[in-house]
Amino acid sequence: MTPSGDGEGQPTETGRCERRSLLRLVNDRMRVLSRSAGWASEEHWFSFQCECGNTSGCDARVQMSLAEYERLRAGRRSYAVAPGHELPGLEPVLERSERYLVVGTQGPSTF
């Protein structure tokens, strides 16, 4: 058994949480650098990494403005995922957009 799988190739909750935490760090660093550079308007869309936590690798991007990302980032248990990358029955969809979904996690915050 690996930290991100059950030995049969199925991702575990621990693996999804670890991956989501890493992706959130990457996205947050991009947000901080972009905000401090000051070159983008509030409406400019950035290409953030999907935070679905797919442990086999997800390279999908979600298009969000800094304000949209900062709003979801304020919720410690909410993540930006590409449409279709939500996990029905495991996480509620808190917000829907044509460009992204905001999903919530149940249980303790992972970041």
DSSP H helical ranges for 1-111: 13-37, 66-73
Average pLDDT over residues 8-22: 70
What is the bridge-based pairing of β-strands 78-81 and 93-96?
Answer: unpaired
- pLDDT, one tens digit per residue, over 79-105 is 999 999 998 888 899 999 999 999 997
- CB contact at 8 A, 69 and 46: yes
Length of the chain (residues): 111
39 compared with 87, residue with greater pLDDT: 87
What is the reported pLDDT for 11? 55
Q: What is the pLDDT of residues 50-60, one digit of tens each?
A: 998 787 778 99
Query: Mean pLDDT over all residues of the chain?
Result: 80
Residue 5 clears pLDDT 70, i.e. is over it: no
pLDDT higher than 60, residue 110 = no
What are all long-range contacts of 39-48, with beta carbons under 8 Å and residues at least 24 apart? 40/66, 42/66, 42/67, 45/99, 48/80
pTM of the model: 0.74
